[in-house]
Amino acid sequence: MKRLSFVFAMIAVFALIGSASAGTLDDVKAKGFVQAGVNGDLFGFGKPDEKGVWRGLDVDTARAIAVAVFNDPDKVKFTPLTAKTRFTALQSGEIDVLTRNCTQTLGRDTALGLDFCQVNYYDGQGFLVTKKLGVKSAKELEGASVCVLPGTTTELNVADYFRANGMKMKPVVIENTAELAKAFFAGRCDCLTSDASQLAGTRAVAPNPKDYMILPEIISKEPLAPVVRHGDNQWKDIVNYSVLAMINAEELGITSKNIDDMLKSKDPKIMRFLGVTEGNGKALGLDEKFAYNIIKKIGNYGEVFERNVGVNTPLGIERGLNALWTDGGLMYSPPFK
């Protein structure tokens, strides 16, 4: 009896221990799904809905990678990670790609054994205040209590900003996004600082959104990008071009709705992009139609943006820096040839 249960236990243990070797793409293909690390608490970027289905911009990025490899947006599994656990999870091989609104910095790119891929959201840190305070600029926040998430670049940026301007602050550091927002609305802090995208979301969920305003100062640059392990160039290329395919499609005017008409297009750029003229897929080690599949199943960058964080969502974020370069933004895709 005992021995039998021991054998069962060992089998169970081995079933739960995974082992990775060779290239990430081979591993992913072998196990049949992409394991992606996501936020879990961040509305619009990574959060399960009331049925437990994952939604958000970062989630869609991970799904795009799954489509590129498997042509199936559901062949991806999500691991919710905290700020503390995210990089270890990637380093140890527990996840294949980290799409968890991570800011690219030199330190992280070099010291942690990681590589940052194509930016999927350009963000910057700002301040949310109640209008009652009568503050018009972040420079007037001398002595303020500041609500901030711990262990993030945000916490350092705000300390730097106050020091640079010779002001004092009192941080209120709460681990959980929802708890932090609630504390702020209840008036525990004078201002809440975070990436501008999250501020919009936080403001949207306020009991009375009109009582709050975002201050004009953006005190940092936050390029948010998917992250992979250092040294696996093929996998990095796949993640890069999965994101870029969505941007390129928007540049070319291809959407999930009109894509089948576009297949008939005689524009060589579009033909190459959609895999009608072959070559791109093979170069990446993917199906020739990977870009077609991504746009068909996920949508182009504009669609993904509008669906998750755009003006018609509770977040209501304008494209701003995340508009195409042709519209004055920073989203720019190299040619697919």
Which residues, 6+ apart, have CB-to-CB distance to 286 below 8 Å?
Answer: 68, 69, 238
Q: Phi/psi at 171 (nearest 5 deg)? A: -75, 140
Could you give the CA distance from residue 192 to residue 207 in angstroms, rounded to a whole number?
Answer: 15
* Window 20 to 79, contacts with another protein (CB under 8 A): 20-21, 40-41, 43, 47-53, 77, 79
SS3 assignment, position 288:
coil
* Window 281 to 310, contacts with another protein (CB under 8 A): none
Please count the CA atoms within 13 angstroms of the CA of 4 that sit on its side-chain side: 1
Least separation in angstroms between residue 199's CB and another protein is 14
Least separation in angstroms between residue 119's CB and another protein is 21
* Window 213 to 242, contacts with another protein (CB under 8 A): 230
* Window 141 to 170, contacts with another protein (CB under 8 A): 141-145, 150-152, 155-156, 158-160, 162-163, 169-170
Which residues, 6+ apart, have CB-to-CB distance to 326 below 8 Å?
Answer: 251
* Window 82 to 111, contacts with another protein (CB under 8 A): 82-85, 87-89, 91-94, 110-111
Least separation in angstroms between residue 95's CB and another protein is 9
Q: What does the per-residue mask of binding to another protein show for 184-213, with x meaning CB under 8 A?
A: --xxx-x----------x--xx-x------
Q: Is 335 in the site for another protein (CB under 8 A)?
A: no
Stretch that binds another protein, among 80-88, 118-126, 251-259, 272-280 (CB under 8 A): 80-88
Total residues contacting another protein (rule CB under 8 A)? 78
Which residues, 6+ apart, have CB-to-CB distance to 185 below 8 Å?
Answer: 206, 207
Residue number, 179 or 278, with CB nearest to another protein? 179
Q: Is 10 in the site for another protein (CB under 8 A)?
A: no
- Contact 68/127 with Cβ under 8 angstroms? no
Q: Which residue has the tokens 């640079």?
A: 164
Least separation in angstroms between residue 19's CB and another protein is 5
87-to-103, 112, 226, 243 alpha-carbon distances in Å: 12, 8, 12, 21
Could you give the CA distance from residue 317 to residue 57 in angstroms, rounded to a whole number?
Answer: 12
